[in-house]
Amino acid sequence: MTQKFHRALCGLLALLWLAGPAAAKPGKPKKSGKDEVVTITTPQGVIRLILFDDTPLHKANFLKKAQSGFYNGTTFHRVIENFMIQGGDANSKDADPTNDGQGQPNEASIPAELVGHQHNYGALAAARMGGPAGTPSSGSQFYLVENHDGTHFLDGQYTVFGQAIQGLDVIDKIAKLPKDPRDRPLADSKMTVKVEKLKRKKITKLYGYSFNS
């Protein structure tokens, strides 16, 4: 093999390596055949959620906290009938109800991912401090839309990153709990959260949820 031919062959191999297999279709990564189902168990019943792939920062953060046990023992500390139920604050684990919803002082926030998902009934969205659209999300607190017509005045303002696929009636029950003037339930609605990875076909069969192609 001549030196000139050797250099040409090396160059061709480098181009093939950069291009990758012809079937790979740049820009269209192959979708996994499985997805995570998040199960929230409360005294009022069970809620199951799917998290959206196109809000990857929120999805990864929520899954990490759920799998670590962070949410176990937290409560739905703010409930408003015909609006939403909010939970996930670590402060709600302690015996002081007055600090619920204030969040941890050094908790990291998450950049907003406003990709067009709407606040439909059962939508999962990230809470945040006040401010304009694009304000970063809370690193832990979330809410579930309880209004059956949705809360579309919030569309484009807060990151929607998932959807309840089971337990809409449970969201309704929590929203109707007796509460104090701060919208905190008089009796704690504590949650435990677990994550299970299932085939998407099985998720569709069990819960009737259709994944976007």
Tokens of 100: 């619920």
pLDDT band of residue 19 (cuts 50, 70, 90) is: very low
What size, in residues, is the chain?
213
User: What is the pLDDT at residue 115?
Assistant: 98
Strand, coil or helix: 110: strand
Give 64's DSSP letter: H
State the average pLDDT over residues 55-72.
98
For the entire predicted model, the pTM comes to 0.84
CB proximity list for 117: less than 8 A, separation 6 or greater: 52, 55, 123, 159, 160, 161
Q: How many CA atoms lie within 13 A of 59 on its CB side?
A: 15
59-64 mean pLDDT: 98
Half-sphere exposure of residue 203: CA atoms within 13 angstroms, side-chain side:
22
Residue with the bigger pLDDT between 3 and 43: it is: 43
Q: For 25, phi and psi rounded to 5 degrees?
A: 50, 85
- H/E run at residue 68: helix 56-68
